[in-house]
Amino acid sequence: MKFPYILKIIGAGLATIILGAIGSGVWEKLLSPGIKNLSELTTSTLSFLSQTYSDSIYMRAAYIETYSQVDQGAIMLFLMASVWLFVFALSSKTDNSLLSMLHRAITDQFKGWYGILFSSFLIILLLFLMATDTTVNEIKKYSVMNMEIVRPYIGKSEYLMLRSKYLRIKNKSDFNSFLNDLYDLSEKSNVEIKKHRVTTSTAH
């Protein structure tokens, strides 16, 4: 059995496992936290290297109207696994000339060093997009949820000022200032909320 064929079988098996995990409790318990940790590490590293990138994350997170609870990591893994399974399925239909031609047209474009470089670039790009979107949505999710938790206890005026401050976030310093206000309001109202784990050491 040829090595490339073995790789295809292994890849198809992994893709099937990923697709199955996304639709089950395994995703929430194991894979999703792993994706979030990887995203956090990636964005932390990039933020350390680029202040502009760091600021862009917090500015994007400040747009509450674009908040979505869809797991971006799951979507990207699902897409990658689906593409792999599609190409693998095409390779198994050698008796159909049309499908066989389609398979060759796809795979012939990604052979040799060109294929390796293109695939590596695609993986890095997907990792970057996934990490950025995951981190942005985590910040939004934490902020929106906890503003709503304290909202009934702090009054309309305090809530609107807190929301306004969040919408004006431009960088990490602004976000930490928002967290300080959020924590202060929760303590004054005797409402317990979890500290934001990414910025706990630098915030209140």
Range of the domain at 24: 3-134
Structurally, how many domains does the chain consist of? 1
- 32 falls within a domain: yes
* Of 3-7, 61-65, 74-78, 109-113, minimum mean pLDDT range: 3-7
Q: Could you tell me the end-to-end alpha-carbon distance of the chain, in angstroms, rounded to an integer?
A: 60
Tokens linked to 158: 């305090």
22 in a domain, yes or no? yes
| Within-domain flag for 39 | yes
18 domain-assigned? yes
What confidence tens digit (pLDDT) does each residue in 112-163 have?
Answer: 677 678 777 877 888 888 888 888 888 999 999 999 999 999 999 999 999 9
Instruction: Evaluate whether residue 126 is within a structural domain.
Output: yes
Does the residue 160 lie in any domain?
no
The three-state (H, E, C) secondary structure of 73-105, written as one string: HHHHHHHHHHHHHHHHHHHCCCCCHHHHHHHHH
Report if residue 149 sits inside a domain. no
The pTM score is: 0.65
**pLDDT over threshold 60, residue 1:** no
Does any domain span residue 158? no
15-47 per-position pLDDT tens digit: 555 555 555 555 455 566 666 777 778 888 888
